[in-house]
A = this chain, B = another copy of it.
Amino acid sequence: MNTEESLNKEEVTSNSTSQYRNFPMVPRVVFGEGSFSQLGEILLPKRRNSEAPFIFLVDDFFENEEFAAQIPLIFNDELIFISANEEPKTEQVDALVKRIQDTYEELPSGIIGIGGGTLLDLAKAVAILLNNNGRAEQYQGWDLVNRPALYHVGVPTISGTGAEVSRTTVLLGPEKKLGINSDYTTYDQVILDPDLTKTVPKEQWFYTGMDCFIHCIESLNGTYLNAFSQSYGEKALELCKEVFLEDIPECESRDKLMMASWHGGMSIAYSQVGIAHAVSYGLSYLLGVKHGIGNCLVFQHLGEFYPDGVQLFRKMIEKHNIKLPQGVCSNLTQNDFDIMVNVALGMDALWENALGKEWKTIMTPERLQAIYQRI
């Protein structure tokens, strides 16, 4: 979600009335342990006919798991397992769209994304491209999508990114990593079943949860905040604290992290992320560091800017015995640092949100390089 969140504010500043953005909310949501069992019933009235399949895009983590058998396939519905090891790409979207168009005479009845941020973003993009001509990269940007997406349903199986509730899908294109930001991107239906997060590996759980925690800290400490985003951000932060610092039962913890992700995603409606995201984007651009862990690598060194947040973060790291990689930047050349510094400092809106309009006098290239050198 890095670039996306990073660039969110640029959308705002490009539209004179977007101080009052008309924010699209997910129009249908089911919550509850076991609620995934409702998916078949929910899809039934949305099936156009028996020749128009539902296509399920599912994290291949589940390929040999019991869960896969619970996916309600009927008629010519198709289940496609996809690896979430790399960030989603525009070509990957184009290939999926072509594959679906070549296989079926009719447009699908809908697309169901089941997984974490990567799968949720892919499914959104495929749903858009099946109903809009051309290639995915043509729609990277703001409000370039002209026609509604196919009906699409999001089912998160890991909590933190907020992709289940956002109006974007972040894709790595041939030239840029950028979201397809549009009112048609938002899911038509979301199923929040905390039981689906039972099998998440611990480190993945931690890093993805920290995505939520860090973007709450950044937006709540930013200069762009309004009361709408503040109320969602505060609740998400409070839930993160309960999940990562208190000793609550596991099932309660899963429930609360799922709601933290939901509210954290909503909080982005009228706010912006900050320094960790800008700096982490440099890491991601040069070294391919993934979003969740990248934010953690940066955030630990931002005590001057987010003192309370970093203190909480250190307690969370310690409590869960997480060992962050060290020396990530130790073998880089001056040219490498220059690239990262340039990329990060290009994110004007994030710096302005974090440090105010005079941010360039505060965050100099030298000071930023010193942060990278500690990572």
Which of B32, B226, B259 is close to A31, meaning CB atoms less than 8 Å apart?
B226
Q: Compute how far the CA of A41 lies from the CA of B238 in the bound complex, rounded to whole angstroms.
A: 37
A12: shortest Cβ distance to chain B, in Å?
Answer: 12
Contact among B19, B35, B258 for A20, CB-based, below 8 A: B35
* 22 pairs, CB–CB < 8 Å, chain A vs chain B: A17-B38, A19-B32, A20-B31, A20-B32, A20-B37, A20-B38, A21-B30, A22-B29, A22-B38, A22-B42, A23-B29, A23-B30, A24-B28, A25-B25, A25-B29, A32-B270, A226-B255, A227-B259, A228-B259, A231-B256, A234-B235, A235-B235
Q: Cα distance A34–B19 when bound, in Å? A: 10
A112 within 8 A of B: no
Choice from B20, B31, B270 contacting A228 with Cβ under 8 Å: B31
Q: Are B24 and A27 within 8 A (Cβ)?
A: yes
CB distance from A213 to the nearest CB of B (A): 15
How far, in whole Å, are A21 and B189 apart by their CA atoms in the complex? 12
Q: Render A1-29 as a binary contact track against B, CB cut-off 8 A, 1 for contact.
A: 00000000000000001011111111111
B residues near A349, Cβ cutoff 8 Å: none
Whether a CB of chain B sits under 8 angstroms from the CB of A252 is yes
Asked whether A252 lies within 8 Å of B227 as measured between CB atoms, the reply is yes
A20 to chain B, nearest CB (A): 4
Partner-B contacts on A (CB < 8 A): 17, 19-32, 34-35, 37-38, 41-42, 189, 192, 194, 226-228, 231-232, 234-235, 238-239, 252, 255-256, 258-259, 263, 269-270
Q: Is B19 a contact partner of A231 (Cβ separation < 8 A)?
A: no
Which B residues touch A24, using CB under 8 A? 27-28
Q: Which residue of B has the minimal Cβ distance to A229? A: B31
Given contact pairs A22-B38, A41-B17, A239 touches B231 in the complex (Cβ within 8 A) = yes
Q: Is the CB of A26 within 8 A of B25?
A: yes
Residue contact B227 to A231, C-beta cutoff 8 Å: no
- In this complex, what residue of B is CB-closest to A27? B27
How far is B263's CA from A117's CA once the two chains are assembled, in angstroms? 25
Nearest-neighbor residue (CB-CB) of A17 within chain B: B38
Question: Across the interface, which residues of B come within 8 angstroms of A226, CB to CB?
Answer: 31-32, 255
Give min CB distance, A16 to chain B, whole Å. 11
Which of A27, A227, A234, A238 has the largest count of B CB atoms less than 10 A from its CB? A227
List chain B residues, Cβ under 8 A from A22.
28-30, 38, 42, 189
Q: Which residue of B lies closest to A252 (CB)?
A: B227
Cα A218 to Cα B20 in complex, Å, equals 34
**Docked CA distance A231–B262 (Å):** 10
* Complexed CA–CA distance, A34 and B263 (Å): 24
